[in-house]
Structure 1
Amino acid sequence: MTDDNAAKTYECPSPDCSRTFGAIPELTEHINTDHPGEYQREDWPDTPAGRASRRDRASNGDEEE
């Protein structure tokens, strides 16, 4: 059984940040203000999906040099 009343939080995807937010607009504003251009970093986003994607590319030899 899931708790539909539980507040959802969103973690900042920056590898250098550990802040969490209660709403997407707050997260978006934070990223645009505090982390502009970081999405171009090789380690962005620092999320489970981002790390898995980088591992997959590395194991397939698709990493850019």
Structure 2
Amino acid sequence: MPTDKAAWAYVILHDGHAMTATGGKVGATNNQMEMTAVLESLKALLKTWDLARRSCCFP
């Protein structure tokens, strides 16, 4: 059983603001973590998306 911890992270920069997040999982592959970073960043963007303005509203 793998005991190495794999990690993912993202940074989204827009108009001088930054959104960041990190996470990890024991025994995951680098490909799993790369895809997790992409999916988590897209989830974060969707949470901040302003449909009326069609732009992101960073906190």
TM-score of the superposed pair, with normalisation by structure 1? 0.32
- Larger relative CO (CA 8 A, sep 6+): 1 or 2? 2
Q: TM-score, normalised by structure 2?
A: 0.34
